[in-house]
Structures are given as C-alpha cells and as structure tokens.
Structure 1
Amino acid sequence: MSGFARFLFGRRARRRWIHLILGGALAMPYVFLGELVVGPALGSRYEFNSLPLQLASFAVGLPLAALTSVFPLTRPMCVAVVRALCGVDGERLADGPARGGGARGRTAAWFTLHLGLGGVVAGMSLAVPPFAAVLIALPAFAALRDSRLGLPEVLDRTWALALAPVAGVATLVALAACAALAGRLLAHWAPALLGPTPEERLAAAEARAEDLAARNRLARELHDSVGHALSAVTLQASAARRVLDTDPRFVREALVAIEETTRRTVGELDAVLSVLRDAEASPTAPAPTLATDLDGLLHRTRAGGTRLTATVECDAGSLSPPVSREAYRIVQEGLSNALKHAGGQVAVAVRIEATGEHLEITLENPLHHDTAPRSDTAPRSDTSPRSDTSPRSDTSPRSGGGHGLRGIADRARLLGGTAEAGPVESTWRLHVRLPLEAPA
C-alpha cells in the first residue's frame, strides 16, 4: 500500500503533476486562439459555456502549438524543465537547439504531447477537487442538497447519500492516478523525443575523442619536457656536488646548464598550461624542434657528465614542422630514459639520419648486468608494447616505471612511423623510423 501511495502522491509524482499543470498553463493561449476559429465557424460567442466547444477549441489549438515549437529555444527549455521535474536522467536528453527536420519533428511531438496531456490534467485538477469536496461534505450539510448545484436526483436517496463521501475520495484518487500515469508517460517518452539524434551522438563522440586526443598530447608534452628536465637537472646537480671542491669550472658549467634547462622548461610548462586554461588559446612559446634546439639539448645533457656522442646526417631545417617537433621529443625522451635508468655517467650514442623517405633515430647505451632491470614499458613496435628488461644502475635519479617509451611509440604511430626498443646483446637500443613528410 505504501508503494501505491508513493506512486500517487510521492515526491516524484508531485513534481510530475506540477509539470503537467505547467503544460496546461502553456496550452491556454493556444486554446484562446482556437476559440477565434471555432467560435465564428459554429456561430457561437461563448465557447466556455459548452464542453464540446471547449474541447474543439483545445483540439484546434494543439496543432498551432506544434507549429510554434519549431523555434530553436523550445527544446532547451523543454529539456531543462524535464530534468528538473520529471526525474529523467539528464544524460539521456539532448543539449542545445534541435537541428535537422527529425529533431524538430520530435520536439514538436513532445511539445504537443506535453500541452495535450497537461491541458487535460490541469482541467481535471481544477474541476475534480471542488466536485469531490461537495460529495464528501454532502451528508453533513443539508444546505448543499437543497442548493442549486445541479446534483443528480439519485443523491437524495439515503444509500446514495451514504456513499457520496466514498465516491468523492475515489474521485480524488482517480485524479491522482490519472496525473501519475500521465506523468510517467511523459517521462517514458522524454528520452525518445528530446534525446540526442544519431548525428548529435556522433558529434558528441567526436568532440570527446578530440578532447581526449588533446589531453593525451598535452600529457606527452608535459611528460617529455618536464620529465627530461628533472632528470637532467638532478644529474647535473649530482655531478656538480661530487666535484664541487676539485673542478669549479665543471660546477659553473653544470649550474649554467641547470639554469638554462629550468628556464626553458618553465617556458614550455607555461605554454602547455595556457592551453589547458583556455582550450582556444595558442601556445605562448613555440615547441622546440630538431632545427631550433637539438644542439642545446645535447649540450644540456653533456653538462651533467654524460658521455654523449651525436651523429646527425640530415638537414634538420628541411624537415616538416610536425616531423621535426616529434623527432626532437623522441630524442629528448630517449636521452631522459637513458639517464633515468642507466645513470648520469653512461655513454650514450645518438644517430639521426635521413634514409630514402624516412628519418631514422637511434639511441644506444651499454647495459650493466650487475644492476636491476628497468621497469619502464618498452614497445617492440608501434603497436606491441612489452616489458622492458634493461638494467638500471644505482645512480638512477629516480626509480619506478614510466610512460616515456609508450609515448615515443604513440608519437611515431601518429606520424605513420614505427618504434622499437629493447636489449641488443650488451646494448640497450631505441630505434624510431619516421616518414620525412608527415601524413595529413
């Protein structure tokens, strides 16, 4: 019984009842317009004196409501009211104006259904409670039986008079049941009529995919720039500390390298954060490329004591901007990976060369078999990541796994290239192959 009472008079039922009454209120102007058509057509000036004429005016007004519902703001307003009063999950409803004939047609159907059911329930809500109150009070007030209320003569009988209060209560319950059923019907049809169209779902999915792609790109930029800077600065500071009393010149060079690294990284960080704050903002500083900062990257890496040899057999200035930018990040992350896992005193060989229609990037550093295996994820190809087994020395600036090699594989794949990383005999080898011309 409590469930039935909640169905009729619960919070959700009451809110839906209010929603229906609002629909009846919205229907009134259209009913008045219907009177202007029905009255002259039937030769009557007092439509509200006749229930058939009222229903005829209502029937004429509903098509007029359907015509006016094609305005852009109709669907957003209906959706807002449905979310507030009908208890429908907001994710199942569309946002924004209806676009396209199908969406406008469903909006018109919803608006007409809302006003139609709302007009009926609102009319019943105005007429039924007074009638039910008279029936309930009829046995106790003889004046009501003697008044000219147009009551049926059967109510003068004793048995009918005794059943009048029961009929009055039953009438109120029937009104509540009609309102609850009508509210549930509207809630059931709301997602179908006010929900997003397949085109809108596709557009929303594309927008989410673009947002995720942008977030992943920014995450890679932050990881590569900030991660490399922290690894390099840590090694530079460590090397300077060890020779602080014996090699002041090296210490000065390490401090200059730390200053340059942090200043450049702060600039890159500000650029990325500006994009995060404003999706439409453009980076305030250009991203580094092979042509603009390869020499600086190698110099800052050597400043930490790393024995770095570099062979560049390509014209970095002739590379397309996307390839030059991603190649720089790949070299940066490869160096950061070597410093992180093999230590600052490791010998690293970098080779960048153009072969045919591809740019080949190779980074190698020796393995030390007396050290722990690295825990980064090393993709063997652009689509097949596997666990990395390269050793890591005790001088590693930080422990734990990362996402650098996976990010390298992602960068290569987005350009249509490949990336392979893993131990080759006694050497850890990272080899990336990129097309010289970035795909569209």
Structure 2
Amino acid sequence: MSKIAVLRGVVSVTAAPVGVVPRLLAPLLAGATYARMLHLLVGWFFAGIVLMVYPGTYDLSLGEILMESISLDVVLLALSALIPATRRAEGVQARLLLVPDREEDIATDFSRTWADRRRTAGWLIGRVALGSAAGFGMVYGIVGVFDRLTGPDALWYVPFVPLAALGLGWFLVYAGRLQLAMAIRLLGPSPAERLAEAELRAERLLERNRLARELHDSIGHALTVTVLQAGAAREVGDPAFVAKALEVIEETGRQAMEDLERTLVLLRETPAGANGAATEQPGIDQLPALFDTARAAGSPVAALVEVPAGSLPGVLSRESYRIVQEGVTNALKYAPGEPLDIRIAVRDGQLELRCANRLPGAGRSAAGATRPPAGGAGRGATRKGGKGLRGIRERATLLGGEAAAGPLENGSGEWVLTVRLPLRLGS
C-alpha cells in the first residue's frame, strides 16, 4: 500500500470524531440555550420568593413546605391567568427568551375566551414547575460535584468533571426545549385565532387579485384605446381628426394614471383620507365617459342604463363599471369600428349587464362576406380564454352572480357578454 493511501486512511479515521464533537458542543454554545435557561430561572425565582414569604422555612418539614408552597403557587398563578394581559405578556416573553423557529407559533394576543385563560393558567403552572425542577437540578448537580471535588477522594473524580459539566449543560438544553414545546402548545394561537389569521390571509389574497384585475382592466382599456386612436390618426391624416385623437389619447392616459395611482395607494396601505382623489373608485355613474371614449375610438355605442342614481351599493357600482369597461375594451380590441349595444337594468332583484357587438365580417351578403362558423370559430372566439373574460367571471362569482360570453347561436354574428348580479350581496 502506498504512503498516500495510508495517510488518507489515517486522516479519515482521525477526522471521523471531529464532526461529532461540534454537534455535541454546538447546543451548549448557542445563545438560545442560555436565553431559555434565563426563562427557566425566572419561574424558579418566583417559586423561591413564594417559598420565602409564605409559608417560610421555619418549624416545617420539607414535605409540608413543598405542599403549602405548591398550593399557594397554583392559586396565585391561576388568579394571574384570569387577567387578559397575562397571556400577552407571557407570549412576548416566550418569543424573546425561548427563541422559537417561527414567532407566529407563540401568540401575543390577550385572552379572549375562558379556554385561553385555562391554557394560560396551565402554562404558568407548568412553567414554574419546570423552572423549579431545572433550578433545583442544576443546584444539586453543582453541589454534588463540588462535594466530590472537596472530599478525600477528590483526585478520583477530577477526570469526570468535564462529563458532569456536559451532562448538566445538556440537561438545561433539553429543559429549554421542553419549555419551548410547552409554550407552543399552551401559548400558541387558539383555533379561533388560527381561523381569523386564515381569513385575513384569504382577504389579502382576494384584495391582491382584485387590484390585479383593476390594473388589467384599466390599463388594458387605456392601451387599447391609445393604439386604436394612434393607428386611425396615422391612416386618416386629417388634422382635425388627429387633434381629436390626441385629445382622446391624453384623456385616456390621464385616467389610466389616476387608476394606477389609486391602485398603488391601496397596495401601500395608505389611509383613505390621505389622498381622496387617489382613492376615489369609479362607479356606474362614470359609464357615459367610458362610452364617449369608445365612440372617439370609432365604435358607435348605443347605451341604455336603467338604474336609478344611488340605488346600487358602492362595491356593486364599482364592479359593474369594471365589467362594462372590460366588455367595451374587448369589443374595441377584437371588433374595432363595429357598433356596440349596451343594456344595463335592474330586474327581479338583479342587476343585468349586456354588452353586444357584431363580429368583423359577420352577417354580410354571400357575395363577399364570411360568417363565423357555428360554435364560435372566428376572430371573436379567441376571447373565450382571455384574462379579461376570466376576470369578469371572477368578479361575478365573488358577488354571487354569474357571467356568460360568446357568439350567439342564431347565426346573427353577434358576440354577447351577459352578467347578472344580485342587488343583495351574498344572496
């Protein structure tokens, strides 16, 4: 065997224990161990103070002292758990000293129910009991080692001092871990708090999705109108038409900037009163301006809105505006220049929205016309899986309504978007 092979074997043999020692000593050198030890000692100090004040240590046997002090500890801790702020104080302290992997595993809320108070009482009693056991175990361990080292056979025990210190250290490590597990079990969020947290996360997710739809609908509409106006101005070349197109582009861009600013304000969680103009939501009363924009883009709009002013809830008015805006945007994008027919009315306790437009090339004479095949093939049919129509369906579903979109089956060559929303949300 070569010298290199022998050296490699020696290195591998001597290196094997090196990985064990750090794993054995790492918990003893971690700051979390000593923070948890401090947390344990606080519980022990509490029991010691009660022991010194009452019943004292005079004229009583050890059993009597322990029984009376334990009884008093339990009563005091149970009464303390009735205070709602106790759970919060214990949760904050446990987060700081027990160093959990995830802070949310230990709640810092006030006690709201009797179940919270019972769990807090169990935690306080368990904390003091475990802290007392750890404290007495540490003291007796140190005293025992000291007695052996000062006795007549001290030299025989010197080699065992490192092992005793290692055992005492690991005793504190496991006591701290047990204290942490107890805190997670007894101070962790209650089922009601977990449900509230889950609902909050769901609300935030829905809000993010809503804001994403807001941006898609608003910016998508603005870009569609801008592209159509710029293309038409380039093709026509008439100065008056160009000036009108530029005016529409300017107004559409300004509206898109306001929508973007409003959405960014919501994302930054700025208070609503900080910028009233930025947080104002569009509503169904702003539809005439939307129709004027479509007309300026070259698509005739026939609109009939049979909704009394102020009769819709704010959220329903806002979502209705966005739905109609997306319908108009789709029509401008896939059927530019074709007439739009929009009907909005309240019937049988529902708000009905209908946006129809002719498909390009549909319904012409056989001499030079093409008609989309039955089943929706053709240019307009590509809208079926778009993000805009999916967003409309999501809006309608969240409001308890329904939405449908597609070409009419009667061969009229019309694409129709129909949405029905209940006037009472959640019904």
TM-score (norm 2): 0.76
Indicate which of 414, 417, 427 corresponds to 1:427: 414
SS in 2 for 1:99: coil
TM-score (norm 1): 0.74
Distance 1:65 1:439, change over 3 A: closer
- Structure 2 distance, partners of 1:432, 1:265, is 25
Partner of 1:191: 184
Gaps of 5+ in 2: 1-16, 363-374
Residue identity matched to 1:229? A
Partner of 2:125: 112
- Structure 2 distance, partners of 1:388, 1:11, is 72
More off after superposition, 327-336 vs 409-418: 409-418
Gaps of 5+ in 1: 45-49, 139-143, 145-150, 371-386
Conserved? CA contact 1:24–1:120, under 8 Å: no
Partner of 2:365: none
- Structure 2 distance, partners of 1:434, 1:117, is 60
Partner of 2:79: 67
- Structure 1 distance, partners of 2:123, 2:29, is 20
- Structure 1 distance, partners of 2:63, 2:424, is 77
Conserved? CA contact 2:28–2:173, under 8 Å: no
Conserved? CA contact 1:224–1:332, under 8 Å: yes
| 1:404 paired to 2:417 | no
- Structure 2 distance, partners of 1:298, 1:435, is 24
Partner of 1:287: 281
In the TM superposition, what whole-angstrom CA distance separates every residue of 1:205-227 from its partner, at most 9, and x where no partner exists? 22222222333333322222222
Conserved? CA contact 2:307–2:344, under 8 Å: no
Partner of 1:28: 45
In the TM superposition, what whole-angstrom CA distance separates every residue of 1:136-177 from its partner, at most 9, and x where no partner exists? xx4xxxxx5xxxxxx5xxxx4xxx556423554554344234
Conserved? CA contact 2:338–2:357, under 8 Å: yes
More off after superposition, 30-39 vs 166-175: 166-175
Alignment of 1:73-112 (within 5 A): 73-84=85-96, 85-112=98-125
In the TM superposition, what whole-angstrom CA distance separates every residue of 1:271-304 from its partner, at most 9, and x where no partner exists? 33333323652672443333x2222111111112
Indicate which of 352, 376, 382 corresponds to 1:360: 352
Alignment of 1:134-173 (within 5 A): 135=148, 138=149, 144=150, 151=151, 156=152, 163-166=156-159, 168-173=161-166
Partner of 1:350: 342
Distance 1:270 1:29, change over 3 A: same
Distance 1:327 1:259, change over 3 A: same
Distance 1:33 1:133, change over 3 A: closer
Aligned length, in residue pairs:
389
Residue identity matched to 2:124? F
Conserved? CA contact 2:384–2:406, under 8 Å: no
Residue identity matched to 1:297? L
- Structure 1 distance, partners of 2:29, 2:125, is 22
| 1:260 paired to 2:251 | yes
For residue 113 of structure 1, report the CA deviation from its aligned partner. 2.1
- Structure 1 distance, partners of 2:142, 2:391, is 70
Percent identity over the alignment is 36
More off after superposition, 252-261 vs 356-365: 356-365
In the TM superposition, what whole-angstrom CA distance separates every residue of 1:57-82 from its partner, at most 9, and x where no partner exists? 76356323453354444434443444
| 1:414 paired to 2:412 | no
The alignment's C-alpha RMSD in Å is 3.8
